[in-house]
A and B are shown apart, each in its own frame.
Chain A
Amino acid sequence: MNLQIVMLLGQDGITNGAIYALLALSILLVFTVTRILLIPQGEFVAFAALTMAAMQGGTPVRLGWLLLALSAAAMVMDIHAAWRRDGRLAARRGSVLSVGYAAALTALTTLLPLADAGVAVQALVTMALIVPLGLALYRVFYQPIAAAHPLVLLIVSIAVHVVLVGVGLLMFGPEGARTEPFSDGGLRLGMVMLNSQTIWVVAVSLGLILGLYLFFERSLYGKALRAAAVNRLGAELVGISPELAGKASFALAALIGSLSGILIAPITTIYYDSGFIISLKGFVGAIIGGLASYPVAALGALLIGQAESFSTFWASSYKEVIVFTLILPVLVWRSLSHQGAEDEE
């Protein structure tokens, strides 16, 4: 192994690690605000990548139908809730609007020739599909049991993941896909040739992390979410509805997931079920951060990226084994430093 290979592997590691770091942050965000371990985080990634690929390949974009179905289900649930509450059949304006939005977007993606629209437009359309998908997922699957025991939430998360993978196969088929890189060429820094996609990934990740930082530090919504993460009941008492906090965190998770998918699609071939393995590496990062610390989680995820990249070189077929075994020492350390028994509420 010479220096050039080290640089190459390191660059790969940073690219993947940056994506894992984004996912780890998103997983942590959703977990602290809602106590939900967002196992379906990976599906946002895979769906975004495959939707981009479908647009570029000129094959039908079917994600709109899923959004439409979920929005319709959300509307039915809203009507049902209204019926049980005041005995009237009435739909909230919001849920009608979201069904309309989903219908319009579905029509748009089906009819418009998006293949020639350029990467920027394709990425925007993809995010416009996936962010509301996050909202709808929360509304349909999690909101009715938002107060349930974390174990129930985890089981629902697993179930939603399983459903989405199945639907993913239905929408995208079993073939993998890769998208065109955002730009050609690269940047030469001394003896190192930086891949253009690496620069894109790192730049967008840094931008997103900065954006999130500003959102949480400076905006009222961000502060409300932080309050909900620190103390749900307290936040509710000062008027931050857990529903809003849940939806906002899911929308952010979907945004981060779709961006990650768009970024990773030119680097790796993505299949309908690839999201899980990718997001699991985000989970490993989050575990390294103790399901609590954002910076440690991000650093952990970067480390996972490096470990993966270098184990590809040394023992390629044991890559996943090595990466997932990495959490063992972390868990040992956490167990040893853990004090006494605590009650989970």
Chain B
Amino acid sequence: MKPGVLSKSPAARPAPSMPRLSPSGWILLALLPVLAVAPLLLPTYQVTLANNIGIFALATLGLVLLTGVAGMTSFGQAAFIGVSAYAAAYLATVSAADLPGPLAWMAGSPLAGLAVGLVLTLVIATVLGAVTLRLSGHYLPLGTIAWGLSLFYLFGNLEFLGGHTGLSGIPALNLFGIAFDKAEALFYLIWAVLLLAVVATLNLLDSRVGRAIRALRGGQRMSESMGVDSFRAKMTAFLVAALYAGLAGWLYAYTQRFVSPAPFSLQAGIDFLFMALIGGVGQVWGAVIGAAGVTFAKQWLQDLLPHLLGRTGNFEAIVFGLLIVLLMQRLPGGIAGWIAKTSERRRHRPAALESAASDLPDAAPLPRRAMPQKGEAVLEAKGVTRRFGGLVANRDISFTVRAGEILAVIGPNGAGKSTLFNQLSCVDHPTSGEILFRGERIDGRTARAMAGAGLSRSFQHVKLLPTMSVLENVAIGAHLRGSKGVAAAALRLDRAEEAQLLAEARRQLVRVGLGQHLHAEAGSLALGQQRILEIARALCADPCLLLLDEPAAGLRFLEKQALAELLGKLRSEGMAILLVEHDMDFVMGLVDRVYVMEFGERIAEGPPETIQTNPAVLEAYLGGIE
């Protein structure tokens, strides 16, 4: 399993329904009084600086979500700020006569400016996301570079936006009778918006949608198999990031009271990424640290460097660039990641001891699907053939798995078991032949659709999110059993459902014997336990068919016994189970029927006793007698 993309710590500390205050709660509590008195004590110049930091931090927060959590990156954040700032500035300065009749009321209205800015930002982000997010990870950054540059030239050339000189004379912001004409007044507005965004982001990450976004870094194949629409999860992260940039742009226009193309150039987009990286992309608070750090450092360098070099120019970029390289090479978690890591070390708490299974409140169980009758055919392969060019990896494979039965597919290396498994789990599709699930053809469907239908799987190479807790990893399996979205999560309207999902995850973990490790980092488990975790995650989806890819590999003897017991219990409850396995002792003692493959073809099928004495099987495994 690869470590996280940029940082090894998860974005938010998992704090599912814990009564005590999370670290972020403490930070907020400490920050509020400081922020309340800051404008009263600081000179106006410093307050203005703090306003800028707040605006930058808001935009950077979007990048933390996008880059640090979801593992994508965008250079378009400054351009989004620009779109929204220009919308606000244009509507604030245009005269009603210049707008088409029905829209004349918008002239001079800051709220109309906000709405138009946000809508424009989201529409553009949707288009950009739609054309890049399905593709590999390089297209989003390249696409946003191209669009950021285009927009910069566009701003500079549009007459009604003031060309390169921009729009000036934006009146002071006036909302519901409150005038935000002084830096001190704006300070409260900006930082209130920022803190609300931080809280919303923390809430979002600690939710069903947030888990889907965080799961993006574990590989899309896993999350798609759990029913997560990874394109949608990416789009959600990208739109939320754009939304924050849009808010920042509106605040920017009313703080500066002047907009021109320069602050929204690609260079500024790069600066925002640098802020996120320096602060620490894995941590929500990294956005604030990064924005403040970079802003102060920039000021200092702009004073210092011209003295050193005897010339003026954008030389602080050299320092920041080198800093980023150093950071990427030495400290990919950024400043906030480093703080989180050291403070965790200081606390010395072994994560596994932190909780027993009991500290989650009981919630009403989730509704379950109607299970098939025992003996009903759940999965049928009919003449499945898969060719890769001239190579026939599977030839004419046919079998049936029934409810309340375990079928093992065995065969030497290269027999075509993995190819078959991929087709059964709808990751790959047969060249010819049919696969039926509960009587319906499923070849050609997506893995995600099948997760919803009740087909659940584990992976040969364990795929989980090593820095997420065991509980949250398993809860990804229940993704399709919840329905609350982004807004509900950000506003904490999803708590009842969230408690149900987590309770279900806990139930499955207790069932497979991992009840002692609920809040441990999944990556800290032994390999065998990680395999068991995958089974719990699969069970969380309430399946009627389990596809297990080498579930016993890496397990110790006692663990194997426990696994066999669990699978036996599931069978007696009516589950249909297909497993691909190498461990003969494990298979022979457990399964009802064995399907033996060699060179892509069936060589034998039957109960374990007859397979063990089948001459073709013996020859395949032990070699013929010359």
Which of A's residues lie within 8 Å of B, judged by CB?
A: 37, 141, 144-145, 148-152, 154-156, 158-163, 165-167, 169-170, 174, 277, 280, 283-284, 287, 291, 317-318, 320-321, 324-325, 327-328, 331-332, 334-335, 338, 340-345
The interface residues of chain A lying within 8 Å CB-to-CB of B139 are: 287, 331, 334
- Bound: A27/B113 CA distance, A: 42
* Cβ-defined contact, B317 with A165, below 8 A: yes
Q: A145-B329, A162-B318, A331-B139 are in contact. List 8 more A-B contacts (CB 8 A).
A: A37-B141, A152-B332, A158-B75, A159-B325, A291-B138, A318-B154, A324-B150, A341-B221
A-B contact pairs, 24 of them (CB 8 A): A145-B328, A149-B71, A151-B67, A151-B71, A154-B138, A155-B273, A162-B324, A165-B317, A277-B149, A283-B145, A291-B138, A317-B153, A320-B150, A324-B149, A325-B150, A327-B142, A331-B131, A331-B132, A334-B139, A335-B132, A335-B134, A335-B135, A341-B231, A342-B136
Complex: A37 Cα to B141 Cα, angstroms = 10
CB-CB contacts of B249-291 with A at 8 A, as 1s and 0s?
0000000000000000000001001100100000000000000
Considering the complex of A and B, which 8 residue pairs feature the smallest CB-CB distances, nearest first? A163-B321, A166-B318, A159-B324, A331-B131, A162-B321, A341-B220, A324-B146, A343-B219
Question: Quick check: B315 and A166 within 8 Å, CB to CB?
Answer: yes
Tell me if B348 is interfacial: C-beta within 8 Å of chain A: no
Do residues A151 and B137 form an inter-chain contact, with CB atoms below 8 A? Answer: yes
Q: Give residues 222-262 of B contacting A (CB, 8 Å).
A: 224, 230-231
B432 in the interface, Cβ–Cβ < 8 Å?
A: no
- B residues 1-53 near A (Cβ < 8 Å) are 2, 5-6
Contact B325 A160 (CB under 8 A): yes
B370 within 8 A of A: no
Number of A-B contacts (CB under 8 A): 144
CB A259 to nearest CB in B, in angstroms, measures 24
Tell me which residues across on chain B come within 8 A of A170, comparing CB atoms.
309, 311, 313, 315, 318
A287 touches B309 (CB 8 A): no
Chain B residue nearest to A329 (CB atoms) is B131
Q: How many residues of B contact A (CB 8 A)?
A: 54
CA of A345 to CA of B130, assembled, Å = 22
A156 interface neighbour in B67, B75, B143, B325, Cβ under 8 Å: B325
- Determine chain B's interface SS by DSSP, over half rule: helix
| Min CB–CB distance A315 → chain B (angstroms) | 9
Contact present for B150 and A163 (CB under 8 Å):
no
Closest residue of chain A to B311, judged by CB?
A170
Closest beta carbon of chain B to A149's beta carbon, Å:
5
Q: Which residues of A contact B71 (CB under 8 A)?
A: 149, 151
A331 partner residues in chain B, CB cutoff 8 A: 131-132, 135, 139, 143
- Say whether B314 faces chain A, with CB atoms less than 8 Å apart: yes
Query: Once the chains bind, are B157 and A341 in contact (CB under 8 Å)?
Result: no
- Asked whether any CB of chain A lies closer than 8 Å to the CB of B431, the reply is no
In the complex formed, the residue of B with least CB distance to A148 is B328
B418 contacts A by Cβ under 8 Å: no
- Measured CB to CB, the closest approach of chain B to A304, in angstroms, equals 11
- B218 CB, nearest partner CB in chain A, Å: 9
Contacts of A158 in B (CB 8 A): 75, 270, 273, 324
**Residue of B318, B320, B325, B328 with highest tally of chain A CB at under 10 A:** B325
Q: How far is the CA of A274 from the CA of B623 in the complex (A)?
A: 67
Q: A74 to nearest B CB, angstroms?
A: 14
Given A159-B321, A318-B153, A332:B328 Cβ within 8 A: no
Q: Contact: B321 with A166, CB < 8 Å?
A: yes
Instruction: Report B116-137 CB contacts with A as 1/0, cut-off 8 Å.
Output: 0000000000000011101111
Docked-complex contact A149 and B149, CB < 8 angstroms: no
B496 within 8 A of A: no
Give chain A residues whose Cβ lies under 8 Å from the Cβ of B132: 331, 335
Expressed in whole angstroms, the Cα–Cα distance for A44 and B517 within the complex equals 54
The verdict on A338 contacting B325 (CB below 8 Å), with A327-B146, A331-B139 known, is no
B188 within 8 A of A: no
Which residue of A has the minimal Cβ distance to B267?
A: A162
A287 and B315 alpha carbons, distance in the complex (Å) = 31
With A159-B325, A162-B321, A166-B321: A344-B136 Cβ-Cβ less than 8 Å = yes
Q: Which residues of B contact A320 (CB under 8 A)?
A: 149-150, 153
Q: Most A CB atoms within 10 A — which of B75, B139, B320?
A: B139
Write out the residue numbers on chain B whose beta carbons fall within 8 Å of the beta carbon of A340: 446
Which among B6, B143, B446 is the interface contact of A149 at CB below 8 angstroms?
A: B6
Contact B137 A287, beta carbon cutoff 8 Å:
no
Alpha-carbon separation in the docked complex, A328 to B147 (Å): 9
Q: Which residues of chain B have C-beta atoms less than 8 A from A152's C-beta?
A: 5-6, 328, 332
Q: Is the CB of B321 within 8 A of A335?
A: no
CB of B161 to closest CB in A, whole Å: 13
B324 with A149: CB separation less than 8 A: no
Residues in A with CB closer than 8 Å to B311 are 170
Complex Cα distance A195/B224, Å?
Answer: 56
* B136: A residues at CB distance < 8 A: 291, 342, 344
Residues of B within 8 A of A167 (CB): 318
Q: In the complex, what's the smallest C-beta–C-beta distance from B271 to chain A, in angstroms?
A: 9
> What is the CA–CA distance of A335 and B132 in the complex, to the nearest angstrom?
7
In this assembly, does B322 line the interface, its C-beta being within 8 Å of a C-beta of chain A? Answer: yes
Q: Are A280 and B149 in contact (CB under 8 A)?
A: yes
